[in-house]
A and B are shown apart, each in its own frame.
Chain A
Amino acid sequence: MTRWKASAHRRLAAGIAVAAVAATLAACSPEGERQPFVGIDKDPFPSTYTPLESQTTLIVNANIYDGVGGEIEGGAILMEGGKIKAIGQSIAAPDGARVIDAAGRWVTPGIIDVHSHLGVYPSPGVSSHSDGNEVGEPVTADAWVEHSNWPQDPGFWRAAAGGITALQLLPGSANLVGGRSVTLKNVPGRTGQDMKFPGAPYGMKMACGENPKRVYGSGDHNVLHRPSTRMGNVAGYRQAWADAQNYSREWKKYEADYKAGKNVLPPKRDLKLETLAGVLDGEILVHMHCYRADEMVTMIDVMKEFNYQIASFQHAVEAYKIADKLAENKICGAMWADWWGFKMEAFDGIRENIPFMHEAGACAIVHSDDDIGIQRLNQEAAKALADGQRAGVKVTKAEAWQWLSLNPAKSLGVGDKTGSLEVGKDADVVLWSANPYSVYAKADVTFVDGAVTYDRHDPAKRPVSDFELGQPGEGDMK
C-alpha cells in the first residue's frame, strides 16, 4: 500500500499544470530535464476541527454503561483535556474541576450514527437543498458528500439533543457507487471542514438492489440506462473495480519508473477511479446499502474477487438470514430496529434482526438513515434488545450499548479514538435523565471531546442554527 505524500509540487498535480508540462515535454528530448515527481494530495479538504472549550469535569453518582459490555452502579467518570481520564466506582475531584452529581442518572458513550444524510438532505427539505444523490450516472465515486454538507442544518442540533456525538454522512443510494462519505464530530462549525472527525478514514457508499436499477433502468429520469436489473448492477460494480485495478497499476508503475530514474509523465488523474483505487489500497472503507441476503452474499464474492473489504452493509434488512456469513467475513450490519415493508427488498424485515446478528457473533449496529430517527437511536436499541430477549437471545443492556457506539466507531475506522468509556479515548459522553433504554429517558447533557455540545437545562447550551434565527420557535425546546 502506497501512501502518497502531499507533494511540495502540489500545484503541478492540477490538470492545467500537467498539460502545460506535457506540452513542454513534447518539445524536448526524453534525455531533457527531468520533470518533478507528481504526487496526489490525499487530503485536499483537511479537517479544521478544533474541540469546543471544555473544563475538567467529574460526573459522580452515575450508573454507567462503559460501552464494552461493562456496567458500574453509582460510579464516576472524569473528563480532562478532552479525553477520558478515569472511570470507576469512585474518583477524587481534581482542583477546579466541575463536579456533576448525576444522582442516579445514567452515563454512556456518545451515540454514533453511521448512516445519516443530515446536511445533505437538510431541513428545510426544499428542492434547492436536495444534495445527496448525484444521479447523473451509475458510478459517481468522484462525488464527495462533504461538498454537499450544509453545516447549518438544524437536524445536527436535534441529534445532539438525542446524544449523538459523531456521525457518518453518506451520499444517497441511487447509484451503484454514490461517492465518498465523511465522518463528523457532531459539533457546530462555520464550515463542514470544522466538523470533520480528525484522522477518520474516508468511506465510500455503494448500493445494491432496487434503487440503482430503478433510477437508471426505469426511465424515471427520461433516460434508459444500465443498470436495469440486479445482474446489471453486479456487472457495473465489477467493471468499476476492474477499471480501478488498472488505474492503480498505472500509478504504481509511474511511481516505480520515476524512482528508477526514468523520465516519465504521470497518468491522467481520474477522480472516480482514484476513490475506487483508494478502496483497493485499503485506505477507504466500503459502506454498502444492501437489503437482501442473497445480494449481500453476492457482494461478499465480488469483494473477494477484487480483494477489498466491505466494512458494513447498510440497512441489511435480511442480515438475520446470513448472520453467520457476515460474522465470518467480518462485515458489520447497520440496521433499523423495525423498519420494514416499504418496498419489496424490505418486505422480510423482522424485529429480531439486530439481536440475531449479535447472537451470531457478527458486528451489529443500530443506524437511523433518518433525521427523526437519529434523535432516539437509544430507543431503537431498546426495542431491538427487548425483541431479542423475548426471542431467547442472551444479551444484556450493557452489552447492547455496543450497537450504538463501539461497533459504529469500529466500522468507521475510529474505534481506537471513540465509542467507549475507556481511559485515553475522546470524551464523547452522554448524561441521561434516566436509564437510556426507557422511552422516558432524554439526554440531559451531551459532551464531545469533553465539551458540552448540548445541555437540556441550559438554554445557552442549546444550539440554534443560522436558519432558525428570527423564525417561529427560535430557541424553543425542540
Chain B
Amino acid sequence: MKMIRSMLALSLLAGVSAAAMAENIAVTGGTAYTKGGYGKVENATVLIADGKIQSVTAAGEVPEGYKVIDAAGKIVTVGLMVSETTLGLTEVGFSAGIDDGSAKGDASIPLDAADGINPDSVLIPVTRIEGVTRAYTGLEGSKDMWLGQGAVIHLGNGPDLVVKRHAALGLELDEGAASSNGGSRVALWYSVRSKLDGAKAGGKEDKDDKDKKEAKPDPEKDALTRVLKGEQPLLVQADRASDIRKVIELKKAYGVRVILVGAAEAWRVADELAAAQIPVIVNPVQNLPGSFDTLGATQENAARLHKAGVKIALVGLGTDNARLMPQYAGNAVANGLPWEAAMDAMTVNPAEMFGVADSYGTLEAGKDADVVVWSGDPLELSSAPDHVLIKGEEIPLVSRQTKLAARYHPVSRAPEYKR
C-alpha cells in the first residue's frame, strides 16, 4: 500500500459512490499480460470505457477525453480472483457475533451464499487494494457435508457484488466430513449417492393434473438438478488420493462437473484428474501431514498437477488474508510451477471454472475492466498495486488498515481526532 497515495485518497473516499463509474480511462506504457501469464504486450495502451476493456494495443494512441494512468515501467494484469473464500459473509470469525460463513440450520444444499453477502465488509477494501478484484465465496460449514451454493463476487463498489449466483455447490468429502456425517467414509458416500440418486429419480416429470396447482417449490431439487444437468459444478473438498479417485468415479457415474479443492494428494492422481478434466484449487504452501488425509502433501503439488495437464486455481490464507494468494503463487513458482501458469491460476482458470469467463478473466475487448497496475512482478513480495480498477472504476487504495496506519504514524496523544 502506498501510504502517501492513500493519504491523498482519504478525501476521495468520503462519499465515493458507484456513480463515480463510467469514466474513460487509458492505462499507458506498462507491460501488459492480457491473458493470464500470456499475451504479453510491451508499452501497452489499455483503453477502458463504460466499465469495459475496449482494446489493448502496443504504443496505442489515447483518444481525447480519456483519463491517463501512467504505467511506465510497471506490470499491468487482470485483477486477480481467489477461488475459495467467505468474503462478504465473514467479518470477524471468532467471538464477535454471527459469522455468516457457517450455517447451522436444517437445510444445506439449497442455501444460497448470495443471500448473506455484505458489500460494506471491511475485508473487501483490505483485499482489493492488494490486487484481488474477484472471489468465489460460499459457506465453509453447515449441518452436513453439503455447503450450499456459492457465488462469484466482484470486490468493487456498489450495493450488489454478486456476479454469478449458483456458481458451484459445495460438498465436503474429506476426513472431517466423514467424521461428522456418519463417522465413516462408508456412511458419507452412501448418503451423498442417495441424495444424487433421489434428485435423479425425482427429475422425472410427475403426471400432473392440469387442474392441480403448481408443484410446491423445491429449491433443493432445483440445485441438484442444475448439478445433474451440468449447469452448476460440484465444488468438492477432498485431500486423500483414495478419496480423489472416488470423486473421479462420482463424476463419471453421474455426469456432473466437478472442481476439486484442497487436494493435498492430487499430485498422486494427476494423470487421472487430467483425463477426467477435473480442475483443482490448491493451497500451494500446504506440505504437512496435518491429518491422515494429507500424508503426501508437498509444495510441488501445483507444479506436478500443471505438468500433468490439470487446470489449477489458487487460494490465499483463509478469508481475512485471501490477499496473500500472489505470495502463495510465488511459492508455487519457487517449487516448479511456471510463472505464466501461476498467473493463469489467478485469472483465466478460475474464471472458466466458475463460469464467469464471458465477462472476466482477460484484458480483451468487451470484458469487465478489472485492471491492476503493479509496481513490479505481481508475485514478488516487494511489489504492490499502484492502481486498481474494478469494472472500470478506479478504486482508492484505502482500507480501514491504511487509515489506522496513517492515524498512528506518528503516534500522538489523541489519535481519535486524526482522520
Q: List A residues at the B interface (Cβ < 8 Å).
A: 123-126, 154-155, 158, 210, 214, 320-324, 338-344, 347-352, 356, 371-372, 375-376, 379, 382-383, 385-387, 390-392, 437-442, 467-468, 471-473, 476-478
Q: Could you pull out 16 A-B pairs where Cβ atoms are within 8 angstroms?
A: A123-B290, A124-B292, A125-B290, A342-B94, A343-B92, A344-B92, A371-B288, A386-B381, A390-B2, A439-B330, A439-B380, A439-B381, A442-B334, A472-B295, A473-B265, A477-B335
Task: Name A440's contact: one of B287, B321, B330 (CB within 8 Å).
Answer: B330
Task: Identify whether the interface residues of B are mostly helix, strand, loop, or mixed.
Answer: loop
Do the beta carbons of B381 and A379 come within 8 Å of each other? yes
* A124 and B296 alpha carbons, distance in the complex (Å): 12
- Chain B residues near A123 (CB-CB < 8 A): 288-290
What 0/1 pattern do residues 124 to 156 of B give for CB contact below 8 A with A?
Answer: 001000000000000000000000000000000
Q: Is B80 an interface residue (CB 8 A)?
A: no
When A350-B405, A352-B409, A472-B241 are in contact, do A478 and B287 touch as well, CB less than 8 Å? yes
Do the beta carbons of B265 and A472 come within 8 Å of each other? yes
Q: Is B373 an interface residue (CB 8 A)?
A: no
- Chain B residues near A442 (CB-CB < 8 A): 334
- Chain A residues near B300 (CB-CB < 8 A): 476-477
Find residues 352-397 in chain B having any chain A CB closer than 8 Å to their own CB. 379-384
Closest-by-CB residue of B relative to A370 is B317
Do the beta carbons of A473 and B405 come within 8 Å of each other? no
- Further contacts, 17 of them, CB under 8 A, given A350-B401, A386-B383: A125-B290, A158-B287, A210-B95, A338-B321, A340-B126, A348-B404, A350-B405, A376-B285, A379-B327, A385-B382, A439-B334, A439-B379, A440-B333, A440-B334, A473-B295, A477-B298, A477-B300
Q: How far is the CB of A232 from chain B (nearest CB, A)?
A: 16
* A352 and B408 alpha carbons, distance in the complex (Å): 10
Q: Is B286 an interface residue (CB 8 A)?
A: yes
Task: Name B327's contact: one of A344, A392, A439, A473 (CB within 8 Å).
Answer: A439
* A385 and B126 alpha carbons, distance in the complex (Å): 19
Do the beta carbons of B382 and A375 come within 8 Å of each other? no
Do the beta carbons of B95 and A344 come within 8 Å of each other? yes
Do the beta carbons of A343 and B94 come within 8 Å of each other? yes
* A98 and B62 alpha carbons, distance in the complex (Å): 61
Task: Pick the 5 closest A-B CB pairs, nearest first.
Answer: A439-B330, A473-B296, A472-B296, A341-B320, A343-B94
- Chain B residues near A439 (CB-CB < 8 A): 327, 330-331, 333-334, 379-381
Name which of B287, B296, B383 has the most chain A CB atoms within 10 A of its CB: B287
* A385 and B380 alpha carbons, distance in the complex (Å): 13
When A341-B92, A439-B327 are in contact, do A476 and B298 touch as well, CB less than 8 Å? yes
Do the beta carbons of A472 and B268 come within 8 Å of each other? yes
- Chain A residues near B17 (CB-CB < 8 A): none
When A343-B96, A472-B241, A477-B298 are in contact, do A386 and B288 touch as well, CB less than 8 Å? no
Closest-by-CB residue of A relative to B339 is A440
What 0/1 pattern do residues 311 to 354 of B give for CB contact below 8 A with A?
Answer: 00000001011011001001101110000000000000000000
- Chain B residues near A477 (CB-CB < 8 A): 298-300, 335
Do the beta carbons of B411 and A323 come within 8 Å of each other? yes
- Chain A residues near B408 (CB-CB < 8 A): 320-321, 350, 356
Q: Is B25 an interface residue (CB 8 A)?
A: no
Closest-by-CB residue of A relative to B330 is A439
Q: Is B203 an interface residue (CB 8 A)?
A: no
- Chain B residues near A347 (CB-CB < 8 A): 92
